[in-house]
Amino acid sequence: MDYALSIFHNLDEPDTLVYNIMIRSLTYKLSPLEAFLLFKKMQESSAEPDEFTLSSILKACSKLRALREGEQIHAHIVKCGFKSNGFVENTLIHMYATCGELEVARRVFDGLPERARMAWNSMLAGYMKNKCWDEVVKLFHEMLKLGVGFDEVTLISVLTACGRLANLELGEWIGDYIEANRLKGNIALVTSLVDMYAKCGQVETARRFFDRMDRRDVVAWSAMISGYSQANRCREALDLFHDMQKANVDPNEVTMVSVLYSCAVLGALKTGKWVEFYIKKKKLKLTVNLGTALIDFYAKCGCIDSSVEVFNRMPSTNVFSWTALIQGLASNGQGKGALEYFQLMQEKNIKPNNVTFIAVLSACSHAGLVNEGRNLFTSMIKDFGIEPRIEHYGSMVDILGRAGLIEEAYQFIKNMPIQPNAVVWRTLLASCRAHKNVEIGEESLKHIISLETPHSGDYILLSNIYASVDRREDAMRVRDQMREKGIEKAPGCSLIELDGVIYEFFAEDKACPHLEEVYNATHDMMKRIKEAGYVPYTADARLDAEEDEKEASVSHHSEKLAIAFGLIRTLPGTTLRISKNLRVCTDCHNATKMISKVFNRQIVVRDWKCFHHFKEGSCSCNDYW
């Protein structure tokens, strides 16, 4: 390109054709600014811009988001009589849409004497680029009504909108059209169809179309992996990612973000680390999206130091990266660290959003910083103009409840300007369990029942409150109510990753892998911690069972099976990382503290509430969770 420019600058009087070649080349060679400067020079010469010049320079304006210059060229188009030229008008529509001026783009579109398919596609692409999904669908229906022919480019735009709107009916109609007209050879079109079905929750149908593709590029693989991730079918997402590697298809940023999300959900540390290794090996840019996904992944695997390290080497950050780190620090028991980064965020002039405040209030809750939480809640409204959402009120209830201020938390809920939901009352119920407050616990469950069908965990919390104050009959009555209403306790499930393989265990599991080995290891583990002073806590166990049955039951909870398996399958000193679907019970919490001491292991357990970092007989949650 430099050589071509040197020849061009030595020409005495380049004509329009030569200018067009150079301007077009500069525009498409990622030098749109130079293209624009050359256009200025052309205007000062004897060469007259034609429709090809104007089309190229409008594309340069689009790349530079140069709206003002684009408007000047629009005026030149009108003045010189190019207004009826469909080729020029299409690029004009594209320029305005790219610059966010959709109303102007639509006026240009509506003013066309004849609207060819390309003009419709330009307008559809403009709406799609600006995420005006309803307008995409509306314009497509207008095309059908007027009998305007459409092509694969049209359908890709409409399928994208269908996915975003969960408009399965129109998406299926397009799917039928693709099959009937044998368009399945178009990779981009079928990939859009796969993405649409996945976003509409039809993952099996998406997979069916994916499997029938003759060729699959990285975009197709990414769409299907992303579909599994969005549906929380994370094991299948990782399985497909491994298939992608076997097919020698290099992942792109979208693939890696989806894979990291799935690794975070499953606690698949080894696979997630491979993604970071791949980024470094290929010298890929650590973009904001990729960096934020890595921060979230490491935080959810309990490796918060790695999250901080990734954050510190990101070339650029935004509010989402800061929020991910603050949330990660909070959930990993580093509340004060989260507050320090929140302060640093403001010093860097990055304005926190409503999600940031949920994260920082959570940090105050985990760290027991009641006054700081109150001040932040007030500051959010006064200093940042953020109207509190139900999540912010719930965080304040958690802050007060954790600190034992149950009555104040109750009054806070009663005085909320918006109606509290079941989650808010459930938060208070959990605090009542921790602080053995029967009266407000009963009141909390009544409110939950009035708002939605209660979870099994709600009844169990109240039952445990009764059991903790020796009201055995009331505890039994609550369990009986559960049975009468057909409410079953969700089975506890724990995951552990060993050498890249994820093992799954259920409470009192009789079908787990390596059954005899696991149960023998669990028996030996429980024996050793009992010898060290561990006493089983059975108050939360089945109330109608004998004490020895209760002990046997709690000793086979899912996290104990996973920990025992980890102990015999890893080298001494290896950190064990467990993910659990339910809240860790009191007995498992006590036992894991003792296991960390007796076996000299760090054990990280992520339950649905928070992270527990067990080390030398202590837990990062300070025994409140």
State yes or no: pLDDT of 546 exceeds 70: no
Determine, yes or no, domain membership for 465. Answer: no
pLDDT tens track for 42-89? 777 777 778 888 888 888 888 888 888 888 888 878 777 666 566 788
Q: How far is it, in rounded angstroms, from Cα 180 to Cα 571?
A: 58
Of 253, 227, 245, the closest CA to residue 500 belongs to 245
CATH number at residue 87: 1.25.40.10
User: Do 66 and 95 contact (CB within 8 A), yes or no?
Assistant: no
Question: Over 349-415, what HEC string results?
Answer: CCCCCHHHHHHHHHHHHHHCCHHHHHHHHHHHHHCCCCCCCHHHHHHHHHHHHHCCCHHHHHHHHHC
Final residue of a domain: which of 74, 104, 130?
A: 130
Of 412, 387, 382, the closest CA to residue 397 belongs to 412
Q: Exposed (0-12), middle (13-18) or buried (19+): which is 137, by Cβ within 10 Å?
A: buried
User: Do 267 and 559 contact (CB within 8 A), yes or no?
Assistant: no
User: Do 272 and 260 contact (CB within 8 A), yes or no?
Assistant: yes
The pLDDT of residue 204 is 97
Query: What is the Cα 541 distance to its own chain's centre?
Result: 35
User: Do 53 and 86 contact (CB within 8 A), yes or no?
Assistant: no
Q: How far is it, in rounded angstroms, from Cα 261 to Cα 237?
A: 10
Which DSSP state fits 50?
-
Determine, yes or no, domain membership for 122. Answer: yes
List the single range of 162-176, 200-214, 395-409, 487-501 with lowest mean pLDDT: 487-501
Which DSSP state fits 418?
S
The pLDDT of residue 8 is 57
The region that residue 600 occupies, defined by phi over 0 for left and psi between -120 and 50 for alpha, beta otherwise, is: left
User: Do 562 and 503 contact (CB within 8 A), yes or no?
Assistant: yes
Determine, yes or no, domain membership for 416. Answer: no
Final residue of a domain: which of 130, 165, 192?
A: 130
List the single range of 2-6, 442-446, 572-576 with lowest mean pLDDT: 2-6
Structure tokens given for 589 = 């919490």
Determine, yes or no, domain membership for 13. Answer: yes
Determine, yes or no, domain membership for 598. Answer: yes
Determine, yes or no, domain membership for 57. Answer: yes
Range of the domain at 597: 493-619
Determine, yes or no, domain membership for 123. Answer: yes
Asked whether the whole model's pTM tops 0.75, one would answer yes
What total number of domains does the chain contain? 2
The pLDDT of residue 551 is 81
The pLDDT of residue 2 is 61
Final residue of a domain: which of 100, 130, 160?
A: 130
Where does 66-112 have alpha helices with state H?
67-79, 86-98, 102-110
Determine, yes or no, domain membership for 80. Answer: yes
From residue 387, alpha-carbon distances to 236, 392, 412 in Å are: 39, 9, 16
Considering just the CA atoms, what is the radius of gyration of the chain in Å? Answer: 30
522 φ/ψ angles, rounded to the nearest 5 degrees: -65, -45
